[in-house]
């Protein structure tokens, strides 16, 4: 199982990978405002790499429920200095977390390698054009609705089947647009237009979501459904459950785990793989 990203090819199989999160935003749900300064964001990213992250995901717009959207110019102002600064200091694979084609293209020019698109391909032919022009890898995530309304009574006939059908359709769209399917990774979008039970059901059935042997990325780090399960509103109480889910997901079909706290989750992956042999 391969992920082609520009001139690199990443192999997946029995070994999972960690994607570290760098939010250059004032309002992200768990770390908003901590890395608004580009130098601080780059330093944080380098620390995540040192702790074991193979990918760094840089975002400039919060996509938490009911977050306030920002325009493309503001998003570029936040992320481009971080991407360019990190690229000068590391050859780590950099992902830009955006659904805007113009932001994605500018980020690739600044040194990013991957587009992490919460809107699938967002209905934008322009986003597929950016992938084609740049050779970038693309993460296609499932979301019902948009961040402003996605948690207003999400409904599915069968959440596993519906997300899998979405992935099938998006892979077909990519192929029709001339994109090598080995450039595509899928993300079920835990917490994006899903209830607690939808989230848990998707995590139970990760192997059923795989399409055409494409890698699966899962992001559960610090998310609110953890607090619902535990009956706690404290952000710090979500740390160890995230580590537990990283081990579970790695055992059950996830290839890339997107997390805030790299070291503990990296160790969880390595221990799970040691047990599996």
Tens-place pLDDT, residues 7-21: 999 999 878 999 999
Tens-place pLDDT, residues 260-269: 999 999 999 9
| pTM score | 0.94
pLDDT at position 33 over 70: no
Three-state DSSP class for residue 195: coil
CA angle 148, 152, 173 (to 5 degrees): 65
| CA dist., res. 226 & res. 237, Å (int) | 9
Q: At what angle do helices 125-134 and 101-110 cross, to 10 degrees?
A: 10
| CA dist., res. 64 & res. 149, Å (int) | 10
Q: Which of 16, 21, 91, 89 is nearest to 58 (CA)?
A: 21
pLDDT at position 35 over 80: no
pLDDT value at residue 53: 98
Three-state DSSP class for residue 66: coil
Other CB atoms within 10 Å distance of the CB of residue 229: 12
Could you tell me what percent of the chain has a pLDDT over 70? 95
| 220 contact partners, CB below 8 Å, separation of at least 6 | 190, 191, 203, 226, 242, 245, 246, 249
pLDDT at position 123 over 60: no
β pairing state of 256-259 and 217-218: parallel
**Averaged pLDDT score across all residues of the chain:** 92
Q: Find the mean pLDDT for residues 213-224.
A: 96
pLDDT value at residue 30: 55
pLDDT value at residue 50: 98
Q: Say which residue, 39 or 146, is predicted with more confidence.
A: 39
pLDDT at position 80 over 80: yes
Q: Find the mean pLDDT for residues 211-223.
A: 96
Residues 95 and 258: beta-carbon distance below 8 Å:
no
pLDDT at position 257 over 70: yes
Residues 16 and 53: beta-carbon distance below 8 Å:
no
| CA dist., res. 53 & res. 267, Å (int) | 11
pLDDT value at residue 69: 84
Catalytically active residues, by annotation: 223, 258
pLDDT value at residue 55: 98
| CA dist., res. 93 & res. 196, Å (int) | 32
Half-sphere exposure of 131 (CA within 13 A, CB side): 34
Tens-place pLDDT, residues 184-195: 999 999 999 999
| CA dist., res. 250 & res. 255, Å (int) | 6
Which residues are bridge partners to 117 per DSSP? Answer: 140
Residues 250 and 207: beta-carbon distance below 8 Å:
no
pLDDT value at residue 173: 92
Q: Which of 138, 260, 137, 118 is nearest to 192 (CA)?
A: 118
Find the farthest-apart pair of alpha carbons in the chain and give their distance in angstroms, rounded.
48
pLDDT value at residue 27: 58
Tens-place pLDDT, residues 130-181: 999 999 999 999 998 777 676 778 899 999 999 999 999 999 999 999 999 9
């Amino acid at each position: 199982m391969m992920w082609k990203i520009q001139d690199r090819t990443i192999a997946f199989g029995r070994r999972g990978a960690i994607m570290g999160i760098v939010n250059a935003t004032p309002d992200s749900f768990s770390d908003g405002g901590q890395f608004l300064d580009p130098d601080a964001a780059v330093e944080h990213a380098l620390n995540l790499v040192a702790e074991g992250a193979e990918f760094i995901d840089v975002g400039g717009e919060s996509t938490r429920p009911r977050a306030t959207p920002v325009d493309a110019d503001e998003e570029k102002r936040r992320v481009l200095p971080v991407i360019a600064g990190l690229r000068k200091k590391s050859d780590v694979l950099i992902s830009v977390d955006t659904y805007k084609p113009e932001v994605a293209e500018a980020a690739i020019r600044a040194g990013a390698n991957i587009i992490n698109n919460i809107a699938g391909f967002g209905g934008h032919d322009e986003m597929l054009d950016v992938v084609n022009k740049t050779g970038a890898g693309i993460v296609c995530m499932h979301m019902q609705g948009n961040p402003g309304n996605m948690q207003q009574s999400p409904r599915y006939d069968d959440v596993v089947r519906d997300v899998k059908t979405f992935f099938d359709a998006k892979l077909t769209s990519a192929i029709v647009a001339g994109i090598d399917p080995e450039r595509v990774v899928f993300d079920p979008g835990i917490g994006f237009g899903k209830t607690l039970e939808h989230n848990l059901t998707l995590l139970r059935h990760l192997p059923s979501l795989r399409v055409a042997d494409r890698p699966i990325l899962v992001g559960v780090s610090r998310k609110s459904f953890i607090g619902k399960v535990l009956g706690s509103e404290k952000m710090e109480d979500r740390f160890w459950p995230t580590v537990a889910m990283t081990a579970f997901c790695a055992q059950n079909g996830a290839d890339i785990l997107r997390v805030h706290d790299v070291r503990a989750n990296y160790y969880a992956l390595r221990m799970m793989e040691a047990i599996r042999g």
